Structure 1
Amino acid sequence: MPVFRFLAETSDKVAEGIQSCLSGASSYLSVPAVKKQLSNIEGVTPDNASNLVDGLIGLNTVMLSHGWEINDILERIGESRQLDLPDEQKPQLIKRLGSYLETPAIQEVARAADLAGERENFFHTVRVLTDVRPVFGDDPSEKPRAVVVNQTLKLQYFNDRSETRNIFIALNEEDLEDLRDAAIRALSEARNVKSLMDSSGLQIIQTEGE
């Protein structure tokens, strides 16, 4: 809602700059790149740029997944009580949003984001926790005789309801080496696939942060 209010209230110069940026964005089909280009427009903050792209992609994804008409969505936004716009600003917001949603950059990255989002869980953060556990003898009042070093992999992710969940997995040093090797291999495979796509002329749309 804040970014829609920004669109309704911003000047024609800023709105035209956004339109020009989105219309020319097909040469860099990357969500982070589009956000960066928009934030270079005078009068558009990085937060506004990020929220605008996310909002446009979200609206486009809803249209694709539900088969809704763009005019119906725009009308509902303009009449939203949460937005609470003066009557004279509603047509301007609807017109601007409609023209932005029709740009190839937004349409293509929205389709890519919709496909990329067809997964149950989404990675958020990872940590490897190391702890030391003392080994006591029969008499617990005596000093520990040894220690055990443990590693625990903590994976935090979002489920399909955007709720955060955690998984804790016990690891040893060999497991950590296996994880490292798997990650290095996956990065190499990703680079090879991207190179193959480049040589075939297919563009890769980056839907997530760099």
Structure 2
Amino acid sequence: MNIRIPKNRWEALVRLADMSADAVKILFAELAKVPPQKFGPDLPDQIAESLKGSGIENVSVIADTLFSLIPLLISSGKPVNEVVEELLNAIRNQAPSGKNLEEDKIEQLRANLQKLLRVPSIYMGAKATSVLTDNQSNFLSARILTDVRPVFELESTDVAAAVILHNLKISFASQGDSEREFFVSMDAVDVQSLISTLQRAQQKADKLQKIFNETNLLLINPERI
């Protein structure tokens, strides 16, 4: 596995290597409280807020870097210890000039990563997000712009009637692409058809939720703002 370490991650990796066993224990305990559905881009700041006064510095940066390693762990399909060793080798080989980690720091980083990458709820949240978004395209947002268009009388500029037209804009992201969008025009019948389709989707989800509740199987619905 070819691991490339971005320059903006070095400082956080150094701080991870500097964390004491007690600090790692505190961070692990805080991460373990997080439900899988809470995993998302705002989580590092939320963890930092929760650990104010703990004496651990740069929690948000450390957590963000830690979370950035989990997709690597997921995609590799390898055990944590193997991924950590490959990451440590990359750190040895790619360290910027003057920022090489001494072996005692490498050992401390190994122990810290072995611990923190094994937080079950964080792994499950990241894994669920990975499975949920592993599609050709993913929905981002929608907006409807409504227009009234006049219908003119024959051979006249007098308005005889009007029609209502809805323009639906869908924003989406495709793998390897930035945000894209497309537009589709709809009349009242189309809008009702779309509403009915979405309602059926919600009904299906509610029934599946009930089945999961009855079997005590966790259903992860990532929260988004």
Aligned to 1:107: 123
Alignment correspondent of 1:63:
76
CA contact (8 A) 2:24 2:116 kept: no
Query: Could you tell me whether the CA contact under 8 Å between 1:121 and 1:160 is conserved in 2?
Result: yes
CA contact (8 A) 2:171 2:181 kept: yes
CA contact (8 A) 1:156 1:166 kept: yes
Aligned partner of residue 69 in structure 1, secondary structure = helix
Residues 7 and 30 from structure 1, CA distance in 2 versus in 1: closer, same or farther, beyond 3 angstroms? Answer: farther
Gaps of 5+ in 1: none
Please give the root-mean-square deviation of Cα atoms over the aligned residues, in Å.
3.8
Asked whether the equivalents of residues 126 and 156 of structure 1 are also in contact (C-alpha less than 8 Å), the reply is yes
**Number of the residue aligned with 1:122:** 138
Give 2:206's match in structure 1, choosing from 191, 194, 197: 191
Which residue of 2 is the match for residue 178 of structure 1? 193
Alpha-carbon spacing, 1:82–1:132, altered in 2? closer, same or farther (3 Å): farther
Partner of 2:47: 38
CA distance in 2, matches of 1:95, 1:159: 37
TM-score (norm 2): 0.69
| 1:202 CA displacement | 0.9
Bigger shift: 130-139 or 96-105?
130-139
CA separation of 1:132/1:63 partners in 2, compared to 1, >3 Å: closer, same or farther? same
* Other-structure match for 2:25: 16
Partner of 2:87: 73
Which residue, out of 35, 38, 52, partners 1:28? Answer: 35
The secondary structure found in structure 2 opposite 1:20 is helix
After TM superposition, the structure 1 stretch with the greater mean CA deviation from structure 2, 107-116 or 75-84, is 75-84
In the superposition, relative to structure 1, how do residues 53 and 76 fare at CA in structure 2: closer, same or farther (>3 Å)? Answer: closer
SS at match of 2:136: coil
- The size of the alignment, in residue pairs, is 205
Moved more, 125-134 or 3-12: 3-12
**Equivalent residue number for residue 155 of structure 1:** 170
Deviates more, 1:76-85 or 1:167-176: 76-85
Structure 1 pair 5–15 and aligned structure 2 pair: CA distance change class (3 A): farther
Shift of 1:208: 5.0
8 Å contact kept, 1:35–1:53: no
Give aligned-pair identity as a percent. 21
Give the letter for the 1:6 counterpart: A
Preserved CA contact (<8 Å) 1:135 1:147:
yes
CA distance in 1, matches of 2:116, 2:186: 49
Mean Cα deviation higher: 125-134 or 12-21: 12-21
